[in-house]
């Protein structure tokens, strides 16, 4: 269908706040504003995810086997759940004792020597020329080194920023499927995409059977590749650490691997695949590609998102050397204390000193509106437009620029054209990039203020998810988007609770930066603007419509069958609720199709009209229409006229 509306029919993933599907992570962010029953549900489900308890029927057991009621779980584990989620001190490794080496140079005096013994089997294959080696009787050798020599000696070091947004304490993705030494970010890609697919409430096989194989698209990436031991991190460190590389580190390290893993191991898809990166705006880059293809009719279903495991010593040190991270020392200076407040390390639009690194995986499932109506899909929102613009000439590649003025203002103008001025002026809010750097708080607030002035918007709510979960790099705007879906569900805009006041250099004449959660149930939100900035001039802004606003639009387009759709949607919601119940008990049902039978290439048949692939309900059909037919006709007429002119009398 031309001008198809890309609908969000499923979403999932994991961040420092918990699981995205069924809004578990969002509820953790606004926990104190929830009714007691919702708080209980959130605490108990997170306790399961964090392996503090396991569910048995209507009861739970702790790690010692003691039977507990939900109220018991809440009373015993609430503080552990609170302490083990959101931004906190790094737990993945000891940030105060990072293994490292120091290069030392010994004397240049030729008459001075260094002598030591070592096992003969540990000798380098090519010993230094200055070494004199003498065999000893016990399998050791005596080494005498003369002249100048350089050595690496073990020398642990300390990170200057020890806070991070990590997955909840005790939650290890590899425990939920046979991870086979996958890098952490690829583990996260699998569990995030699986969560999104299950959240639909429609079996994937049914979705796949409803469309041609090439009408499915996967759009995913990790901007920094896989930098843990099993990926590029281990590859680049191996020789310097005296170990060897493996056959898996190069292929698993590629930044396109999240898309490849989702295609091969989650969906078994032979459809379109695309791995785009745009620094910290990467999620919106893959979102734009999916929206583009669904609107054009090239794709009818898209699974898109990112996975990034960026909390590593090397990445942390790299950003710290750019003065981009909020260091412990500077946090202490802000608070006039000797102890850094790691829980409040990320402080968007307040007095701040740098961003807080984090890890996350976020995926959403998009469908065109016709297919969603046909399948009875539940609709969580819609993304009609995503705009991306560069900064032009830059003095510093990491500095903010003018591109975001274009992307953001175009998004607001587009939203007004789609849903009207009233919805945008009175019922919209902004999910800012909000990185927590001094440069971001001034530049982003200024551009939002200018856009508000241009479109005559006042008291515009602006929130920032990074205050809760940190900066997950490629996944960051995915964190923002799923949080916005939570606002549509619970009619609550999360406050920026890590700050006590807005910094004086933040523009706020027409903007409202809430320090506590805002209840918007009296004036429900129709639109959210998801804004993102990335190093290098990667600016993107998405328009996100609420499910209520989308339902109004679909009721007009599909008036003749909308009631039938609503009936079918009830079945979908019931199925999705069943998965949510299992997932709340940490029964994640991770989809990992490794070892399943491969497609029999001998069974593939190709004709002039299309391709048949064994195991797929529909064939790939060639598009036989010529989009340049008018150009060919014009050329043919011109050629005929030329021929007539050339005919002799």
Tell me how far CA of residue 468 lies from CA of 92, 345, 372, 615, in angstroms.
18, 10, 33, 44
Tell me how far CA of residue 59 lies from CA of 22, 53, 171, 448, 496, in angstroms.
21, 10, 20, 49, 35
Q: Taking a C-beta distance cutoff of 8 angstroms, is the pair 96, 158 a contact?
A: yes
Cα distance between residue 468 and residue 164, in whole Å = 10
Cα distance between residue 526 and residue 546, in whole Å = 5
Residue that the structure tokens 């209840």 belong to: 519
Question: 423 CB contacts (<8 Å, ≥6 apart)?
Answer: 415, 526, 527, 549
Q: Give the other-Cβ count within 10 Å of 397's Cβ.
A: 11
Cα distance between residue 121 and residue 604, in whole Å = 54
Cα distance between residue 89 and residue 83, in whole Å = 10
Active site residues: 280, 433, 471
Q: Taking a C-beta distance cutoff of 8 angstroms, is the pair 118, 141 a contact?
A: yes
Cα distance between residue 617 and residue 598, in whole Å = 16
Pull the structure tokens for residue 482: 């799923």
Can you say how many angstroms the Cα of residue 333 is from the centroid of all Cα atoms in its chain? 32
Cα distance between residue 599 and residue 459, in whole Å = 56
Cα distance between residue 154 and residue 167, in whole Å = 30
Q: Is 13 helix (H, G, I), strand (E, B) or coil?
A: strand
For the chain, the 3-state helix, strand and coil shares in percent, each to the nearest 5, are 40, 20, 40
Cα distance between residue 51 and residue 3, in whole Å = 46
Pull the structure tokens for residue 161: 């920023």
């Amino acid at each position: 269908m031309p001008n198809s509306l890309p609908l969000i029919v499923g979403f999932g993933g994991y961040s420092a706040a918990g699981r995205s599907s069924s809004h578990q992570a969002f509820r953790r962010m606004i926990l104190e504003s929830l009714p007691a029953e919702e708080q209980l549900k959130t605490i108990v489900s997170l306790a399961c995810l964090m392996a503090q308890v396991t569910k048995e029927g209507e009861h739970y057991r702790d790690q010692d086997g003691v039977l507990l009621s939900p109220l018991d779980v809440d009373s015993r584990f609430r503080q552990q759940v609170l302490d083990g989620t959101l931004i906190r001190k790094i737990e993945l490794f000891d940030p105060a004792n990072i293994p490292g080496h120091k290069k030392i140079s010994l004397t240049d005096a030729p008459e001075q020597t260094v002598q030591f013994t070592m096992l003969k089997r540990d000798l380098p294959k090519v010993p230094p020329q200055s070494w004199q080696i003498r065999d000893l009787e016990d399998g050791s050798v005596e080494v005498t080194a003369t002249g100048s020599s350089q050595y690496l000696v073990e020398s642990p070091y300390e990170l200057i920023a020890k806070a991070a947004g990590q997955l909840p304490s005790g939650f290890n993705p590899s425990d939920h499927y046979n991870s086979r030494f996958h890098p952490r970010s690829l583990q996260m890609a699998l569990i995030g995409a699986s969560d999104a697919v299950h959240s639909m409430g429609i079996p994937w096989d049914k979705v796949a059977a409803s469309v041609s194989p090439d009408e499915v698209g996967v759009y995913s990436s990790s901007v920094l590749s896989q930098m843990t031991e099993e990926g590029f991190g281990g590859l680049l460190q191996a020789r310097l650490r005296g170990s060897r590389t493996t056959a898996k580190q190069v292929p698993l390290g590629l930044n396109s691997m999240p898309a490849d893993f989702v295609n091969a191991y989650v969906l078994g898809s032979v459809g379109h695949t695309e791995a785009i990166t745009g620094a910290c705006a990467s999620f919106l880059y893959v979102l734009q590609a999916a929206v583009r293809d669904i609107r054009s009719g090239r794709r009818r279903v898209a699974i898109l998102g990112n996975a990034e495991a960026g909390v590593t010593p090397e990445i942390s040190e790299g950003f710290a050397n750019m003065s981009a991270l909020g260091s412990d020392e500077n946090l202490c200076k802000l608070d006039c204390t000797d102890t850094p407040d790691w829980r409040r390390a990320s402080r968007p639009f307040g007095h701040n000193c740098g961003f807080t690194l984090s890890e996350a995986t976020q995926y959403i499932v998009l469908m065109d509106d016709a297919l969603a109506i046909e399948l009875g899909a539940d609709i969580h929102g819609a993304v009609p437009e995503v705009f991306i613009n560069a900064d032009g000439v830059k003095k510093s590649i990491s500095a903010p620029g003018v591109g975001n003025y274009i992307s953001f203002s175009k998004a607001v103008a587009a939203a007004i054209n789609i849903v009207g001025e009233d919805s945008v002026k009175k019922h919209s809010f902004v999910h800012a990039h909000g990185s927590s750097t001094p440069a971001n708080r001034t530049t982003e607030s200024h551009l939002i203020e200018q856009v508000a002035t241009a479109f005559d918007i006042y008291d515009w709510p602006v929130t920032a998810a990074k205050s809760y979960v940190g900066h997950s790099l490629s996944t960051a705007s995915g964190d923002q988007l799923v949080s916005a879906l939570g606002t549509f569900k619970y009619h609550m805009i999360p406050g920026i609770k890590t700050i006590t006041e807005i910094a004086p250099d933040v523009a706020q004449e027409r903007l409202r930066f809430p320090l506590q959660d805002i209840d918007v149930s009296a004036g429900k939100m129709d639109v959210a603007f998801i804004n993102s900035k990335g190093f290098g001039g990667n600016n993107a802004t998405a328009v996100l419509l609420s499910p209520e606003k989308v339902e109004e639009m679909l009721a007009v387009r599909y008036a003749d069958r909308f009631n039938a759709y609503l009936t079918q949607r009830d079945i979908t919601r019931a199925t999705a609720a069943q998965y949510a119940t299992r997932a709340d008990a940490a029964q994640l049902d991770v989809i990992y199709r490794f070892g399943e039978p491969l497609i029999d290439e001998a069974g593939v048949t190709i004709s002039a009209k299309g391709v048949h692939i064994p195991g797929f309900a529909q064939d790939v059909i060639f598009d036989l229409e010529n989009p340049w037919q008018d150009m060919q006709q014009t050329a043919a007429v011109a050629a005929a006229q030329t021929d007539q002119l050339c005919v002799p009398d």
